[in-house]
Structure 1
Amino acid sequence: MDIRHFKTFKSIVEEGNFSNAAMKLGYTQSTVTSQIQQLEQELSIKLFEKIGRNMVLTDLGKEMIPYANELLNTVKKIEGIGKVGDKITGELKIAVAESLMSYKLQNVLSMFKEKAPNVKLSMVSLNCYTIKTMLANGELDLGLMYDVGSKNESLSAVKLSDFNVTLVCSPQFEQEKLDFCEPNHKINTSLIINPVESVYRKIIENYFLDKNILLNNTIELGSIEAIKKCVASNLGISFLPSFTVEEELSNGTLKELKVGCVDAKITAIYGYHKNKWISPALSLFIELVREDFNII
């Protein structure tokens, strides 16, 4: 029997359906269905049955849950033998989106250094499209990025979290005289934003295009810290992940502007090549990331 099939079974139970389990595991839904069918054939029992449009657990499927949990816990313990602390060695090459690198990974990196001090960790900040390409080409062990572009079948991708995006300005900005929700007008300010590959830049530029809202120009910067300082100096406005401007909004260095795409979200994921060997070092790093983002 394939242990992965039991992991898939457990994920379906936890996530409530096949599609959510597929998203969590980085599989296609057809792969999840196939794995469950193989498991049912090997066990000679029916684990799920279709009721209406939903696949629900059979009575035997419900009986399977504690056994599957026990099996997977045992496997986890076996995998951990000899693979803890300073016994983990090797190299790890990871690429991360700049905002995630700067604001979301400090705890993970600190814990990884403590648990695996002998691993040579190489990290680089890149745009999400470049990360996906490098993962597909086998140039990286892991990528932490936003969900952009079309799905690459060679990659396993797991959702970490959805994040809000906020339009911000300087406290000196005369926001009451300007409307970023009303269409068909020009606003006398600049958009200070990351390069064109930025997923949140695409959101705000598409919004302005759809609303026919024109700004003076775009100032393109590669650093979110540089962007925030320019905005605080009243050189323009910016559209950034909310978690990157929490402190500034709290202390009054920046102010939030109302905008019609206020419900816009970006989805953070981690990904790796499906054929990549999950080394002890990579397994530990992924485990720490999942714990930090509260993914069970």
Structure 2
Amino acid sequence: MELTYLRTFCEVVSSGSYTRAAEKLGYAQSSVTAQVAKLEEMYGAILLERSGRGMIPTFAGNNLLPYARQMLALSEEAKGMIAGGDRGVLNIGAIETLAAYYLPHRLHRYRLRYPEVQLRVQPGSEEGIITAVKDKSADFGLIFDVTYRSDEIIALPLRQEPLYVVTHPEHRLAKETEVTSNQLADEPLVLTEDTCTYRKQLLQELKAAGIAPRIDMEFGNLEGIKQAVRHQWGTAFLPRYAIEEELNTGVLTGIPLTGKQEKFYIQLIYRKERMLSPAFEHFIAEMRQ
């Protein structure tokens, strides 16, 4: 029964509302309120409070939250192992580019083999994905970075991926075989958010060359960046997998940046102590295809 209460508590925190949590869980709102009240009675503390943004966890609620998520994750893990791993929920954290361009057809193949497994893809920043894997709110994570190392996490490199300076086909740099940092001086840049690992790579290269970057636009999604380049509003810096279709059709041009940048890899991460059911092992194999 406690797991049910914990699941309800986590859903209220995620949705910020008793009403939305009730809709998501298929309960009456009064049932959600009663379950939270029983949980508060069990732990002897107020766990949720109302604010201008809806229901938020109290200090005690914030302390309970990671433990609640871990208990729920362990419960799902145990169910999966006992059932042979062919049913249940598979939570995957992924940066936005990989969620959009790397995962879909691989998840489609996986679903053909395991139709009873419910797939939940949680887009986020690399830092957030690593945290989610560590606190067990995500079973696997997909990141794009230099080789990740951790005592707690296994990081499987799936494939190396080049990074390109991306321009309109009529741009002055489009015919170049390589682009130097100096050629990007005063170039209007259209970049991803500042938590993006490959954006940091570009800015480090420019800084090393003594160039102050001219960042004209920032987008939180790849389509916005690509549309900006197509309208000739600026130049981008993106991994090849995100512009594969545009390169093949000639809509955009991708040129390598000169220098000895660190190699970037698509990586699958999961906890070292994670017990792998047959379904999870097949998921890993599918990601490596």
Interval containing the TM-score (normalised by the shorter chain)? 0.5 to 0.7
Residue 225 of structure 1 and its aligned partner are, at CA, apart by 1.7
CA offsets 1:47-72 (integer angstroms, 9 cap, x no match): xxxxxxxxxxxxxxxxxxxxxxxxxx
* Partner of residue 232, structure 2: 234
* Partner of residue 133, structure 1: 131
Say whether 1:110 aligns with 2:102: no
Paired residues of 1:157 and 1:269 also in contact (CA < 8 A)? yes
1:175 aligned counterpart, secondary structure: coil
Q: Which amino acid aligns with 1:289?
A: M
* Partner of residue 60, structure 2: none
* Partner of residue 168, structure 1: 166
Paired residues of 1:90 and 1:281 also in contact (CA < 8 A)? no
Residue 247 of structure 1 and its aligned partner are, at CA, apart by 2.3
Q: Which amino acid aligns with 1:205?
A: L
* Partner of residue 194, structure 2: 196
Paired residues of 1:95 and 1:126 also in contact (CA < 8 A)? yes
CA–CA separation in structure 1 for the residues paired with 2:255 and 2:221:
21
TM-score norm. by structure 2 comes to 0.64
CA offsets 1:23-55 (integer angstroms, 9 cap, x no match): xxxxxxxxxxxxxxxxxxxxxxxxxxxxxxxxx
2:212 aligned counterpart, secondary structure: strand
* Partner of residue 275, structure 1: 273
CA–CA separation in structure 2 for the residues paired with 1:258 and 1:109:
30
CA–CA separation in structure 2 for the residues paired with 1:258 and 1:155:
31
Unaligned ranges ≥5, structure 2 = 1-82
1:213 aligned counterpart, secondary structure: coil
* Partner of residue 43, structure 1: none
CA–CA separation in structure 2 for the residues paired with 1:251 and 1:262:
29
CA–CA separation in structure 2 for the residues paired with 1:147 and 1:112:
25
Paired residues of 1:147 and 1:266 also in contact (CA < 8 A)? yes
2:137 aligned counterpart, secondary structure: coil
Residue 119 of structure 1 and its aligned partner are, at CA, apart by 1.2
1:231 aligned counterpart, secondary structure: helix
2:119 aligned counterpart, secondary structure: strand
The size of the alignment, in residue pairs, is 208
* CA RMSD of superposed structures (Å): 3.0
* Partner of residue 79, structure 1: none
CA–CA separation in structure 2 for the residues paired with 1:258 and 1:138:
37
CA offsets 1:258-277 (integer angstroms, 9 cap, x no match): 63248653111111112222
1:155 is aligned, of 140, 153, 156, to: 153
Q: Go from structure 1 to structure 2 and tell me whether the alpha carbon gap of 1:240 and 1:107 turns closer, same or farther (over 3 Å shift).
A: same
Say whether 1:92 aligns with 2:96: no
CA–CA separation in structure 2 for the residues paired with 1:168 and 1:100:
18
CA offsets 1:231-272 (integer angstroms, 9 cap, x no match): 111111011001222322232211234632486531111111
CA–CA separation in structure 1 for the residues paired with 2:99 and 2:192:
15
CA–CA separation in structure 2 for the residues paired with 1:269 and 1:173:
33
Q: Which amino acid aligns with 2:144?
A: Y
* Partner of residue 11, structure 1: none
Q: Go from structure 1 to structure 2 and tell me whether the alpha carbon gap of 1:287 and 1:205 turns closer, same or farther (over 3 Å shift).
A: same
Unaligned ranges ≥5, structure 1 = 1-81
CA–CA separation in structure 1 for the residues paired with 2:270 and 2:184:
43
* Partner of residue 145, structure 1: 143
Q: Go from structure 1 to structure 2 and tell me whether the alpha carbon gap of 1:186 and 1:227 turns closer, same or farther (over 3 Å shift).
A: closer
Paired residues of 2:93 and 2:142 also in contact (CA < 8 A)? yes
Q: Which amino acid aligns with 2:232?
A: N
Paired residues of 1:163 and 1:242 also in contact (CA < 8 A)? yes
Q: Go from structure 1 to structure 2 and tell me whether the alpha carbon gap of 1:148 and 1:218 turns closer, same or farther (over 3 Å shift).
A: farther
Structure 1 vs Structure 2: percent identity of aligned residues? 26
Paired residues of 1:165 and 1:264 also in contact (CA < 8 A)? no
* Partner of residue 40, structure 1: none
CA–CA separation in structure 1 for the residues paired with 2:179 and 2:113:
48
1:207 is aligned, of 192, 202, 205, to: 205
Alignment of 1:34-53 (within 5 A): none
* Partner of residue 219, structure 2: 221
2:203 aligned counterpart, secondary structure: helix
Paired residues of 2:156 and 2:268 also in contact (CA < 8 A)? yes
